[in-house]
A and B are shown apart, each in its own frame.
Chain A
Amino acid sequence: MSSYAAPLKDMRFAIRELAGLSEISALPGCQEVNAELVDAVLSEAAKFAQEVLDPLNRDGDKAGATLADGKVTAPKGFKEAYRQFIEAGWNGLGGPAEFGGQGLPHIVSTPVQEIWKSANMALCLCPMLTSGVLEALKAHGSPEQQKAWMPKLTSGEWTGTMNLTEPQAGSDLSAVRARAVREGSHYRIQGTKIFITWGEHDLTENIVHLVLARTPDAPEGVKGISLFIVPKFRVKPDGALGERNDIRCVSIEHKLGIHASPTCVLAYGDQKGAIGYLVGEENRGLEYMFTMMNHARLSVGVEGVAVAERAYQHALEYARTRVQGREIGQRGGDRVTIIHHPDVRRMLMSMRAQTEAMRALAYFTAAALDRARHHPDPAEKRRSQGLLDLLTPVVKGWCTEQGVEIASTGIQVHGGMGFVEETGAAQYLRDARITTIYEGTTGIQANDLVGRKVGFEKGASALAAIGAMRQIDARLAAVGEELASARANLKEAVDHLESATRWIVETFPSAPKAVAAVSVPYLKLFGTVAGGWMMARAALIAQERLKQPDADRDFLHGKLATARFYGEHELPRAATLAREVTRGADSVLALDPAKF
């Protein structure tokens, strides 16, 4: 069994060199953030994750959360670990300062989230949802609601949930049926919500649910959904917990992965109706929910990075210790560890190179989010928002799809031992599998990308990003022979991305269905090429840094190797993906639904 060690060197490199920490530090409201602070935060988070969260991950998977008499119990050790987590103040990392948070920007919180999710994804989903609720309340809650709910959600004494899904309303939330009837200053909520992550548990004394429901006279469809705060226990004016609300956990799901995270079916209003408080105005609930969905999508993209990293470390440890066969091309000699076999090395390189590229793109996007929020220049703010909107579905969709693939490769490195649960490699694949589904499936992300982000705006942000990718060509050329392969591979891949983007822009107005049919290959194409862009930038910087006398040569040479591998093994996929996009739509739709 391997134990997790946060990849601090690569994280620092991505934060400082690729996401541009110094630029973020210069923004108003972010001045407290500098390299020393980030180092201190990351190393303490790494320590906590390694010593407290990671050791529980395996047992949590085996035991799972349990339900008895409407009460959900987290696996052994989780309650204590959560208590330590909030006592150390980690829950408030990104939370607003006026409610007790540290207000650190996303360029800091994103890597820290990666650490949590690598160490124990199932447990750390709980604080992630709490921060989603905080985002929503900060943006749309009334001052009284903020004062009542936000301090304890920021500290983590209470946790938060998002209640969107119902059996008939999954990706299509216009079908939401939960009812909300006004009763004086509050509402009575009735209905059933499913797939509620950490919807009921014993970690904290109270849980604050954000629930989508319809008022009796609401219009049909998405424009008739309102958002409500529905606490597990009502809160008295003095802050003490009052009566238990009319919410019951009916069952928890038996799932493929994230066993330690209870996925609840919640029944609201079995008796008189659960008491809820309207957030903002009636019928604008979905719009409010989306302010936190975008943020949550980025967080789930980071889960793809996190699980990939953990799977890589696990596979690497196995490859370094498992002795099997002799070195290829040598007669006799001792048996060697399997890391000596070229195909095992190929798998490890592909896991590592992709994970590095995904990490870089996720942090780069987090920095765009910080600029979009804090930049004083409106033009730069707008530009960053455009980049963020464009890259959010890419990070969510691509990083999670790759995360699943990488976790699967991790099993492959183990051979038969990966298929048996005993080695622990399988858990990462099982855990990763949800990431391409929740917070909007890959298909939903891809539709968002080709529709709202590329089609409607005639490719403006996408072509601007492609322009930025082309800008480093001259710098790569200036280095000469050493980065020639990186340069050629990137250039070719960017050409493919551009031609596919132009095809989307041209086709979208007349044939949106054709565009939707190839939207996922386009999303993967975008991710693959943007990842290649990050790796080429990394190679340029590594090249430069190596000239310094005190350079970390091992790390930088490693970066040059993974960047080159990415260019030679991942970027060539751009050609086939672009071909799928531009020539493959017809065959997707060739068979009528009835002919299947």
Chain B
Amino acid sequence: MKVLVTVKRVIDPYVKVRVKSDGSGVETANVKMTMNPFCEIAVEQAVRMKEAGVVSEIVAVSIGAPQCQETLRTAMAMGVDRGILVETEVDVQPLAVAKVMKAIVAKESPKLVIMGKQAIDDDSNQSGQMLAALLGWPQAAFISKIEINGDNADVTREIDGGLEKIAIRLPAVVTADLRLNEPRYVTLPNIMKAKKKPLEVVKPDALGVDVAPRLTTLKVEEPAKRGAGVKVADVKELVAKLKNEAKII
């Protein structure tokens, strides 16, 4: 069975993010970029399923600037068979991602789409759910375990207050949570091999998708600086402060 995975190029999680001086967004020029950690987990899952003989082909899709090719190469070095870059300079929003992916699904007809549950840059947590809705496919977000069982996938979802085990019919969309697996380190021979794997570049227009933003960003600003803490003498004072100053109880 064929699996599609999505990989997003984001600011490296260890980089201190700076807001642009005009408040229009965050500074990304000349900042270290990497694969979104949740996408890495999605890729790892697909590769493990291929190694287990459950999956026959893995195709990775990235949407964005030409530099996303590097992110696709990393995915291929992890074990993905080929890559598709949907190249656009537009800052794509979740709905656009879902529409693009719907068009790719139509072309590739995978049995399973594995996405990261969210990207660490905008934390939207929407693309997977939107894609499932557009396709009319079953979905399971925030999965920590998946097993293919004939035409079904048995998945464990991380929900508030516990784990939920469900079976969903394939084809389906799932999104990876943190505990699904621990991504491997890319090996040097695989970095070399990844260079030779096929990478196709298409434009959103060619897929018939309009990726123009639907949401407008009004302003981006740094969170307020945290003030210094104070020592309290006893519980009584703490409770009083929480009540009167912080006004949270």
Interface residues of A (CB under 8 A from B): 5, 8, 32, 36-37, 39-41, 43-44, 47-48, 51-52, 84, 87-90, 92-93, 102, 550, 552-555
Contact = CB atoms under 8 A, between A and B. Distances in A.
A296 B177 CA distance: 46
Contacts of A90: 188
B77 A89 contact: no
B192 A32 contact: yes
Contacts of B190: 89
Contacts of B195: 32, 36-37
Contact of A8 (B29, B32, B74, B185): B32
Contacts of A41: 188, 191
Given A37-B195, A40-B70, A40-B73, A552 B30 contact: yes
Nearest to B196: A32
Interface of B: 14, 29-30, 32, 34, 70, 73-74, 77, 185-192, 194-195
Given A88-B188, A102-B189, A36 B77 contact: no
- Chain A interface secondary structure, helix, strand, loop or mixed? helix
B228 to A, nearest CB: 12
A40 B72 CA distance: 11
B191 A40 contact: yes
Contact of A87 (B29, B70, B187): B187
Contacts of A48: 185
A391 B130 CA distance: 60
A36 to B, nearest CB: 7
B70 A84 contact: no
A44 B185 contact: yes
Given A39-B70, A40-B70, A40-B73, A554 B188 contact: no
Contacts of B187: 87-89
A303 B99 CA distance: 51
Contacts, number: 54
User: By CB atoms of chain B within 10 A, which of A8, A37, A84, A88 has the most?
Assistant: A88
Nearest to B190: A89
A554 B30 CA distance: 9
17 contacts: A5-B14, A36-B70, A39-B70, A40-B73, A40-B74, A40-B191, A41-B191, A43-B34, A44-B74, A44-B77, A47-B185, A52-B185, A88-B187, A88-B188, A90-B188, A552-B29, A555-B30
Nearest to B74: A40
A44 B190 CA distance: 11
Given A44-B186, A89-B190, A102-B192, 13 more contacts: A32-B192, A36-B70, A37-B195, A40-B70, A40-B191, A40-B194, A44-B185, A44-B191, A47-B186, A88-B187, A92-B189, A550-B29, A553-B30
A89 B188 CA distance: 5
A36 B73 contact: yes
Contacts of B70: 36, 39-40
Contacts of A550: 29
Contacts of B34: 43
A88 B186 contact: yes
Nearest to A45: B188
B5 to A, nearest CB: 19
Nearest to A47: B185
User: By CB atoms of chain A within 10 A, which of B14, B186, B195 has the most?
Assistant: B186
User: By CB atoms of chain A within 10 A, which of B14, B29, B70, B185 has the most?
Assistant: B185
Ranked 10 nearest A-B pairs via Cβ = A89-B188, A552-B30, A89-B187, A88-B187, A89-B189, A44-B186, A88-B185, A40-B191, A48-B185, A90-B188
Contacts of A87: 187
B83 to A, nearest CB: 14
A51 B192 CA distance: 22
A534 B14 CA distance: 31
B185 A40 contact: no
B154 to A, nearest CB: 30
User: By CB atoms of chain A within 10 A, which of B70, B73, B189, B191 has the most?
Assistant: B191
Nearest to A87: B187
Contacts of B30: 552-555
User: By CB atoms of chain A within 10 A, which of B190, B192, B195 has the most?
Assistant: B192
